[in-house]
A and B are shown apart, each in its own frame.
Chain A
Amino acid sequence: MIHTTRAALLSAAAATCLALPALAADGELVIATPTLSDQTMTPWSGSGQRKTYLDLVYEYLVYLDPEGNTEPGLAESWEMSNEGKTWTFHLREGVPFSDESCGDVTAEDVKYSIERLVAEDSRAGPASTMRRIIDTIDTPDDLTVVVNLKAPDFLLDKGYFGEAQQLGIVCKSYIEGLAAGADTAAPVGTGPYVLDHSTDGSEVVLTLRDIDHWRVSPDWETVAIRIVPEEATRVAMLQAGEADIAPVSFDSIAGLKDAGLRIVSAEKTWSPVIRLGGTVQTDEARFNKENPWSDVRVRQAMNYAIDKQAIIDELFAGEGTVANGDTPVAAWDSVQPYPYDPDKARELLAEAGYPDGFDMTLKTFATTPGAELPLMAEAAALYWADVGINATIEPGDWPSIRTEWTSGKALDFAMTHRGFPFPNPENGVEAGFSTQSLFASFTSDDLEALMAELAAETDPAARTEKLTEIGQYIRDQAGAVFMVLANEPWAVGPDVGEWVIDTAYVYNFDTVGKAE
């Protein structure tokens, strides 16, 4: 007895010794990520950050190509009617769920997935805004879903129903068979991978389904997504060959390239910006007229005063472009960013009655991506000091700053912030600049009117034009201090071949190639 135990121990020890060092195995793609968020497994039970793993399991009605154009997904085709208030999706036939008892995707599954995502207890990011627009859902036959909206949404396919959002299609009968609150149970979807295991606070491991998948044919048998909060550790994992893919900071890029690793950048996927609090001019309670920046000339001066290109070169390793808005929006490409012109800034400040500048508070925090925000705040303050604006920087953390920001009070400070592109840019405009959004920092009657005109417009070309007009207005009004449309750098190891990131939250881990 003792002998066998000892023998077993010895062989176990030998086996673990042989496993050293813990290199990523052949056929296993290891992704080191700062967070797995909630590690829950249903689309409605948490944030979009879980898309790194959920997108391998669940599929969407509509996919996007790298240019942001729609591609058929679980819906083979779709059409909009009734002036944007009715959307009809025709489903692809014969797409099987990973659980045999579920069979193929039907209209009932899609209807259930939508209803579950917008239910009151849903924790998905877009749940509340989707709840406001979705009225009823009809399923005239097994492969047709008709979505009736309370208000027009002309970009439902790219937006809420597209792959950049959270409407993954689930198997209705499987979910209904689970005990209530079983949101961490193994997910059942139509994607190319199934969950192997999820270790709380540690990793999510997925394995490839043994089928001829309709959409992709992945190169990797296993995908392991591990939580590694510390960036230096992620970089070490890449260098030691323990990880194949990891997001890295701008600071690390040069070193990683020297070490022979490649950088894949997601272009313009987040936007460092400085938002000016208390400029919700359409809401008495949230409009603080005491702020110097309640005057448009001061807001413009604050934009002119900063050499944003210098900040991009120094803090963002050149990975970004000078921002012309608070988030990247394709329709705003013609909108020109504020040039660096300190003389103009001084002139505008003098005109507005602040020839000697003023004192202000700028709150800042670090996050991922967004480790650079506090340094960006310092840099902005230095440029402002040059024109007389004396900004006191208050470092904080996002939870407390956001609590204050959404408190509904007349704010008297500015904050650094990190925006993401919205798959439907109209939702982004709404979040940042409409009175009904708790988060809004700048609103005006003119802007509300422009947004109402946009909502009423049914012609796609005219809508794009209107959106451009809105972008130009927000830029001219200096609705924020626009800073950078930044890239998001990821380092990839030698085993990884072709890989393209479409946009924020669309990482395409199921199309990562293997090196030759």
Chain B
Amino acid sequence: MLRQITGRLIEAFAALLLMSLVIFLLSRVTGDPVALLLSDSATEADRQMLIEQLHLDQPMWRQYLSFVGNALQGDFGQSVNAGRQDALDLVMSRLPASISLAAVALAFTLVVGIAMGVVAAVTRGSWIDVLVRVIALLGQSVPSFWLGIVLIYIVSVKWGLLPTSGYGTWQHYILPALTLGTFTLAAVTRLVRASMLDALGSEYVKLARVKGVSEATVIFKHALSNSLIPVVTFMGAFFATMITGAVVVETVFAWPGIGRLAYESIVSRDFPVIQTVVLVITAMFILANFAVDMLYLAIDPRMRDAG
């Protein structure tokens, strides 16, 4: 088990390092912040001065090495934007908004998705099953910016029930979480339905039924607990989808999270912030998968033995 954990940690570190190189190069391919920070009537001398101030005059490999070296010591540099805030501070200050939104959306997805999946599986072939599958299909096909705007118009403008956008109270969470969760809701529903159908047709469920166990116990204790294993496997991926999918949702709902920070820093070619956002998201992705692996070891005895 310890060997597994150590292996995972080494993999995680390698992934982060690779990601840092990819994002370092990618963000520099499409333009540099100097052109944006200069005023229209700037001269060549002004440009040189700014390049020096931002340390962009050094060769690329040296910029990368000093970035990695500093990052290892927890220094991710300063935003090239005027505030020159510490890039890590900036990302960390936006992180709670994103994580809390993702957590609420994930909770919504799991509760509703599992319920819908179970109902669909149990009523397989009936109109309820068809309805659930249609809802799941719609959820996966509707673009989230469209869903978000439609929800705002119906729930906030027409009915006046919830705030249109912004951040602060629990009411602010409802529409963005609904929008963000809808895509994964479809995935969870389909996943649970499929594995429930497998479980319901399995030998141990048949045995339980033969032994006269009540239908509710069969469904919830025997079948459901086993069908949730694939859901746990995908939870890390779901969580990551929510963080990355947040770019759109955070823009529509004016949510001050890292998704919008990522977008804004890309638009202004704010290299240090882009790098930090991507690395933090990567780290979270790795962490979520790591947590899922650990959870897996805890709930599935076969995995422990394999280790």
Contact = CB atoms under 8 A, between A and B. Distances in A.
A192 to B, nearest CB: 24
B6 to A, nearest CB: 38
A21 B163 contact: yes
B268 A236 contact: no
B237 interface: no
B40 A437 contact: yes
> Chain B contact residues (Cβ within 8 angstroms of A): what range?
35 or more
Contact of B157 (A121, A240, A431): A240
Contacts of A228: 165, 254
B261 A201 contact: yes
A230 B252 contact: yes
Interface string A391-434: 00000011110111110100000000000000000010011101
Given A127-B39, A128-B38, 12 more contacts: A19-B169, A20-B163, A38-B82, A236-B149, A236-B152, A236-B153, A240-B160, A399-B31, A399-B33, A400-B31, A403-B36, A406-B42
Nearest to B36: A399
20 contacts: A39-B83, A45-B83, A46-B82, A129-B39, A200-B90, A201-B256, A226-B166, A232-B252, A236-B149, A236-B157, A236-B164, A240-B164, A242-B164, A397-B30, A402-B31, A405-B35, A406-B47, A430-B41, A437-B43, A438-B42
B226 interface: no
A431 B39 CA distance: 9
A173 interface: no
Given A125-B39, A399-B36, A46 B81 contact: yes
A21 B160 contact: yes
Contact of A47 (B31, B46, B82): B82
Interface in B114-156: 145, 149, 152-153, 156
A121 B49 CA distance: 9
A227 B83 contact: no
B170 interface: yes
A201 B256 CA distance: 5
B30 A399 contact: yes
Given A16-B169, A200-B93, A439-B41, A242 B163 contact: yes
A310 to B, nearest CB: 29
B82 A229 contact: no
Interface in A202-243: 202, 226-230, 232-233, 236-237, 239-240, 242
A177 interface: no
> For chain A, which range describes its interface: under 10, 10 to 19, 20 to 34, or 35 or more residues?
35 or more
A187 interface: no
A399 B157 contact: no
Contacts of B90: 200
B148 to A, nearest CB: 8
B75 interface: no
Contacts of A399: 30-31, 33, 35-36, 267-269
Contacts of B94: 200-201
A202 B35 contact: no
Contacts of A232: 149, 152, 252
Interface string B194-208: 000000000000000
A183 interface: yes
Interface string B161-173: 1111111011100
Given A16-B171, A200-B90, A201-B260, A402 B36 contact: yes
A128 B46 contact: yes
A377 B269 CA distance: 25
Interface of B: 30-33, 35-44, 46-47, 49, 53, 81-85, 90, 93-94, 145, 149, 152-153, 156-157, 160-167, 169-171, 251-254, 256, 260-261, 264, 267-269
A460 interface: no
Nearest to A242: B164
Contacts of A404: 31
B162 A20 contact: yes
A240 B159 CA distance: 9
B191 to A, nearest CB: 31
A16 B41 contact: no
Contacts of A121: 53
A227 B165 CA distance: 10
A22 interface: yes
B224 to A, nearest CB: 32
A29 to B, nearest CB: 16
Contacts of A406: 35, 38, 42, 47
Interface string A100-135: 000000000000000000001101011111000000
A47 B39 CA distance: 9
Given A128-B39, A128-B46, A242-B163, A233 B253 contact: yes
Contact of B35 (A19, A127, A403): A403
A15 B47 CA distance: 54
A202 B167 contact: yes
Contact of A230 (B40, B161, B251): B251
A69 interface: no
Contacts of B46: 128
A148 interface: no
A436 interface: yes
B85 to A, nearest CB: 7
Nearest to A228: B254
- Residue with the greatest number of chain B CB neighbours at <10 A, chosen from A16, A226, A398, A402: A402
Interface string A150-186: 0000000000000000000000000000000101100
B32 to A, nearest CB: 6
A436 B39 CA distance: 13
A123 B260 CA distance: 23
